[in-house]
Chains A and B, each alone.
Chain A
Amino acid sequence: MSRSAKRPAKGSALLLTAGSGVLGLLVWTLLANSGIQGFPGPLSVVERFGTLVGDGTLPLDLLASLRRVLIGFVLGVVLAVPVGFLMGWYPAIRGLIEPWLQFFRMVPPLAIIPLAIVLLGIGETPKIFVIFLASFLSSVVSTFQGVVSVDNTLINAARVLGAKDRTVFTGVVIPASTPFILVGMRIGLGASWATVVAAELIAAQEGLGYRMQQAQLYYDLSTIFVQLIVIGLVGLLMDRALLLAERRLTGWQERR
């Protein structure tokens, strides 16, 4: 039912997306022709894209950035999920951890970079650490929120069917909080991606952010444009991939 109802909507949505893309290119071309110094049009950016791919710079930069994000992100999530569960399950642990979480959530991960560089040097570690922090903070909060918002009736329903604490936890609390965890992961991945690029602007020898920073020194706007577009597209792709996983895993939810 919902499928047939969605189809025409999907078609026109696609049309709108295409239209908005064309419109964006038009505005861009107009801006490029309006005489701002060094402002590249779409064509020269595509050309630069070709060069950067051809000489291997772009793939290598992309790989470096992706590697940092994935390591930091995965470490963050791997730690956040158990900590979030513990916080949701044991009020004492929540009481101990929550003030720190609330505090660090208010500090943008980027603001940690100077400290991380001083303490951890200028290698990969401080960048990965900052990304780890960004993904950990957003995932831990949502996991914890997921656990505390598990419907009490569901827990009771399991208990009257004979479930003990362990089964209640594995059979009810974990699946019921999956949607929250996945949303937290999506936010965390977005935050990680934003953070890695910014971290590379400050200190790196390779990566999309580093390349932009270099291009800035030489007033090379085309290269900056290529990096920006790649950053946006890759971020979008990663978000879509997680969204897809989320739909797959939590299609049982009532809403939507």
Chain B
Amino acid sequence: MTPKIEFRGLSHRFELGAGDFAALDDVDLSIAEGEFVTVVGPSGCGKSTLMNAAAGLLTPTGGEVLVDGAAVHGPSPQRGVIFQQYALFPWMSVRKNVEFGLKIAGVGQAERRAKAQHFIDLVGLTDFADALPRTLSGGMKQRCAIARAYAVDPTVLLMDEPFGALDALTRVQLQDRLLDTWSRDRRTVMFITHDVDEAVYLANRVIVMAARPGRVHQVIDVGLPYPRSEEIRLSPEFAELRRQVWHAVYHQPTTLEGSP
């Protein structure tokens, strides 16, 4: 079966003033349909670059990304993206934000409104549908961004540290909501995080990246069953996986500082 997302020999060099910088070097990675994959790694190892290539927001200098077997050229509403900085349109209400993609897709007004309402309800923002983003908390903003992404019904969700700026409690609540939705729709998810707990809690598989140059360092299968819960979080199996991931992230083969 063709993988949902496939990175083939993906490399990317950023041009800098003095020479260039290898952000990614020959990344091979396959993500199956319906899989929930998390990506962790030290800051600057190329996680966002990898995701932007999959989103079509960045053209890699080498290799390619395939989605459903077809090479990615530019963004598509098939691949929803959630940004760490929420990226809500600040001049639009929650409802207008959620309707944005539907409007572009040419969905008629009545249907658009009904669909948007459905996703606003789903993320629990019913009472804030007509509020402007600046009046929302960080967690509510991210829920709005998630509703906006869901609304155009993407088959893939690409999430770049979506909960990174939130407090611990809000983060756990949003993790559970996300898993809840995922277990029903089984969209393929690629989720980038700094947080080792979050990486293990959410994923089928954790991809650990290494830096300089950015590459896949280790892939760790998470055998824990879904639905995941508080109990799983406290289980010895979870602790062991977390230890493994932690080790892979923080005890990487060192490369010379400053070498490309």
* A residues neighboring B (CB under 8 Å): 151, 153-154, 156-163, 167, 171-172, 175-176, 178, 250-254
Nearest residue, chain A, Cβ from B133: A252
CB distance from A248 to the nearest CB of B (A): 12
CB distance from B192 to the nearest CB of A (A): 15
A178, B92: Cα distance in complex, Å: 14
Contact pattern, B 134-159, Cβ under 8 Å of A = 1, otherwise 0? 10000000000000110010000000
- Give the interface size bracket for B toward A: 20 to 34
Inter-chain contact B83/A156, CB cutoff 8 Å: yes
Tell which of A156, A162, A176 touches B57, judged by Cβ atoms closer than 8 Å: A156
Inter-chain contact B81/A157, CB cutoff 8 Å: yes
Inter-chain contact B132/A161, CB cutoff 8 Å: no
Inter-chain contact A160/B90, CB cutoff 8 Å: no
Is B87 an interface residue when CB atoms closer than 8 A count as contact?
A: yes
A163, B76: Cα distance in complex, Å: 9
Tell which of B92, B132, B133, B152 touches A162, judged by Cβ atoms closer than 8 Å: B152
26 A-B pairs in the complex with CB atoms less than 8 angstroms apart: A153-B85, A153-B87, A154-B89, A156-B83, A157-B87, A157-B89, A158-B89, A160-B55, A160-B76, A160-B77, A160-B79, A160-B80, A160-B81, A161-B100, A161-B101, A162-B77, A162-B152, A163-B104, A175-B89, A176-B91, A178-B91, A250-B91, A251-B132, A252-B91, A252-B132, A254-B134
Is B62 an interface residue when CB atoms closer than 8 A count as contact?
A: no
Inter-chain contact A175/B104, CB cutoff 8 Å: no
A45, B49: Cα distance in complex, Å: 70
Nearest residue, chain A, Cβ from B84: A153
Interface of B is mostly: loop
Contact pattern, B 76-113, Cβ under 8 Å of A = 1, otherwise 0? 11011101010111111000000011001100000000
A178, B83: Cα distance in complex, Å: 24
CB distance from A171 to the nearest CB of B (A): 7
Inter-chain contact A254/B90, CB cutoff 8 Å: yes
9 A-B pairs with least C-beta separation: A161-B101, A157-B87, A162-B77, A252-B91, A160-B81, A162-B104, A153-B87, A160-B75, A159-B75
A154, B75: Cα distance in complex, Å: 14
Inter-chain contact B83/A157, CB cutoff 8 Å: yes
Known: A156-B83, A159-B57. 20 other contacts (CB 8 A): A153-B83, A154-B89, A156-B55, A157-B81, A158-B100, A160-B55, A160-B57, A160-B76, A160-B77, A160-B79, A161-B100, A161-B104, A161-B152, A162-B75, A162-B77, A163-B104, A172-B89, A175-B91, A176-B91, A252-B134
A154, B85: Cα distance in complex, Å: 10
CB distance from A128 to the nearest CB of B (A): 34
Nearest residue, chain B, Cβ from A154: B87
Nearest residue, chain A, Cβ from B151: A161
Q: Using Cβ atoms and an 8 Å threshold, which residues of chain A touch B90?
A: 252-254
A156, B133: Cα distance in complex, Å: 18
Q: Using Cβ atoms and an 8 Å threshold, which residues of chain B touch A176?
A: 91
* B residues neighboring A (CB under 8 Å): 55-57, 74-77, 79-81, 83, 85, 87-92, 100-101, 104-105, 132-134, 148-149, 152
CB distance from B48 to the nearest CB of A (A): 11
CB distance from B119 to the nearest CB of A (A): 13
A162, B74: Cα distance in complex, Å: 10
A172, B134: Cα distance in complex, Å: 17
A139, B190: Cα distance in complex, Å: 44
A161, B57: Cα distance in complex, Å: 12
Inter-chain contact A167/B104, CB cutoff 8 Å: yes
A172, B80: Cα distance in complex, Å: 18
A167, B236: Cα distance in complex, Å: 51
Q: Using Cβ atoms and an 8 Å threshold, which residues of chain A touch B89?
A: 154, 157-158, 171-172, 175
Q: Using Cβ atoms and an 8 Å threshold, which residues of chain A touch B76?
A: 160, 162
Q: Using Cβ atoms and an 8 Å threshold, which residues of chain A touch B75?
A: 156, 159-160, 162
Q: Using Cβ atoms and an 8 Å threshold, which residues of chain B touch A251?
A: 132
CB distance from B141 to the nearest CB of A (A): 11
A148, B213: Cα distance in complex, Å: 31
A161, B100: Cα distance in complex, Å: 8
Q: Using Cβ atoms and an 8 Å threshold, which residues of chain A touch B88?
A: 157
Nearest residue, chain B, Cβ from A159: B75
Q: Using Cβ atoms and an 8 Å threshold, which residues of chain B touch A171?
A: 89, 100
Nearest residue, chain B, Cβ from A158: B100
A162 and B81 contact, Cβ closer than 8 Å, known pairs A154-B89, A175-B91: no
